Structure 1
Amino acid sequence: MHVLILGGTTEARRLAETLAADAPDVKVTSSLAGRVAAPRLPPGEVRVGGFGGAEGLAEWLVAHDVDALIDATHPFAGTISLNAAAAAATAHVPLLALRRPGWVPGEGDVWHEAGSLEEAADLLPALGRRVFLTTGRMGLAAFAHLDDLWFLVRSVDAPEPPHPLHTEVLIDRGPFTLDGERGVLRRHRVDVVVTKDSGGAATAPKLTAAREAGLPVVVVRRPPVPEGVCVVDDPGQAVQWLGERLDLDGFRVDD
């Protein structure tokens, strides 16, 4: 059996690790987009780079005899997810989306939802002057026109222009601690935080730190999963789905 995981996330890596440990007869290929210079590699075969859109991915699925496709990309990798849905339909390969649950505001949170990075940028002038921007290095152009604001941009790799005029870059990779996030907000005198609704525990402490400090948080909503695609939020559920879909061909993963 051959399973292709569109990865780059913690959940994708955990799924590959589980299959490597519990289903050694299953061939697992993990595909990484290549946007991070030094990614954490999962076990099994790894390919880096795009497929050439939905058509190229469909051709790859057929050429490499893929029996199941798992879209475990970042919740904001909307284009890749659309291509995966189209390619799976063309190649007649079962498709599952593995998505970590989104964050939910709690008591004391001051959240402002935005439908895009551009909407988030429009909200900022009324919320604060010193912005902790944690949306990654891609998409900074949406904030580049805000010359009156100061930005602390945190990303795994250094961002490229265009970006805001007054920008300080913090190169770091999660998981982050609550004490660490408190220190970042305090040292840089942050008065508003911007984040994508990525979900998960690795970057959630910034939300707790912002709540404690009474700071507003602009939360960019994640795009929907393509219509008709089955969704689970845990690698264990993905393993169960694989067992159910491929069991007719003798595939089974014990719990």
Structure 2
Amino acid sequence: MSPHVLILGGTTEARRLAADLAARPGVRVTTSLAGRVARPGALAGEVRTGGFGGPEGLAGWLRAHRVDVLVDATHPFAETITANAARAAAAASVPAIVLRRPGWRPGPGDDWTRVRSLAAAAETLPRLGRRVFLSTGRLGLPAFAHLTDLHFVVRSVDPPEPPLPPDTEVVLARGPFTLADETELLRAHRIDVLVTKDSGGEATAAKLTAARERGLPVVVVRRPELPAGVTAVPDVAGVLERLGFGPA
């Protein structure tokens, strides 16, 4: 019987893993997307969209579809999904692997303030500048909605829904973005401060380099801790090794 791998996706790494596994003879791969992006890019293998109905629903899906391995390759800030996946895998007796790219580290010339939450980031902003590039994802915008004296630039694939800060400018765009793209955005919008989550990875790191080169402060929201007893694999190669596969 062909092994069936379920990937909880939505990240660049999940896309790469699906493509690698789908290219291997005899491997069935299904990627599950939460459905938060209206027009996700094409994915190799089978794709399902929408929630499972909590850990019990996911455990039932794992059993019903005879999943052999669950790979949680969701965003580092998808805290609830990761917790549910760990519980579901244990309940269904399915081996689970968490794929998490390493977080960012400041380098020479960086002016970072690390905070534990979006609410803490909002408290920090008034002393750092008035014009804010808010790069935390459209679902986190309500945490900043009470800041009436700041101008926010928000970039998103899909239009964000309220509540939003009253003085918000939305830029609809899909990455990846180059250093030249990010430098021009900061210049054109006269940005004073960048706010971002510690997502890690190269795909969205250019904004940090652009902020450093322009001498701008950056507020970095720390990623949540993994559930107790759960450890992460840092890259696709590590997952393939855990699955017993070499390079495709």
Is the structural similarity TM-score above 0.5?
yes
State the Cα distance separating 1:155 from its structure 2 match.
Answer: 1.0
State the Cα distance separating 1:136 from its structure 2 match.
Answer: 1.0
Match of 2:211 in 1: 210
Match of 2:10 in 1: 8
| 8 A contact 1:131–1:194 mirrored in 2 | yes
Q: Which stretches of structure 1, 4 residues or longer, exceed 4 Å deviation after superposition?
A: none
State the Cα distance separating 1:41 from its structure 2 match.
Answer: 2.7
State the Cα distance separating 1:148 from its structure 2 match.
Answer: 0.3
Q: Which runs of structure 2 are paired with 1:26-41 in the superposition (5 Å)?
A: 26-41=27-42
Write the distance in 2 (CA, Å) between the matches of 1:107 and 1:117.
Answer: 25
Write the distance in 1 (CA, Å) between the matches of 2:151 and 2:81.
Answer: 32
| 8 A contact 2:10–2:75 mirrored in 1 | yes
| 8 A contact 1:133–1:194 mirrored in 2 | yes
Q: Which runs of structure 2 are paired with 1:98-109 in the superposition (5 Å)?
A: 98-109=99-110
State the Cα distance separating 1:135 from its structure 2 match.
Answer: 0.6
The answer to whether residue 63 in structure 2 is matched with residue 48 in structure 1 is no
Q: 1:19 aligns with which of 3, 18, 21?
A: 21
State the Cα distance separating 1:224 from its structure 2 match.
Answer: 1.3
Identity of aligned residues (%): 67
State the Cα distance separating 1:173 from its structure 2 match.
Answer: 1.4
SS in 1 for 2:138: coil
Spell out, residue by residue over 1:147-172, the C-alpha distance to the aligned partner (whole angstroms, 9 max, x if none).
00000011111100000000000111
Equivalent residue letter for 1:15: L
Write the distance in 2 (CA, Å) between the matches of 1:254 and 1:179.
Answer: 36
Match of 1:229 in 2: 230
| Superposition CA RMSD, Å | 0.8
Write the distance in 2 (CA, Å) between the matches of 1:187 and 1:43.
Answer: 37
Write the distance in 1 (CA, Å) between the matches of 2:231 and 2:195.
Answer: 30
Equivalent residue letter for 2:142: A
Alignment length (residue pairs): 245
Match of 2:81 in 1: 80
Write the distance in 2 (CA, Å) between the matches of 1:224 and 1:41.
Answer: 30
Spell out, residue by residue over 1:115-146, the C-alpha distance to the aligned partner (whole angstroms, 9 max, x if none).
11000000000111000001111011100000
State the Cα distance separating 1:254 from its structure 2 match.
Answer: 3.4
Runs (5+) with no aligned partner, structure 1: 244-252
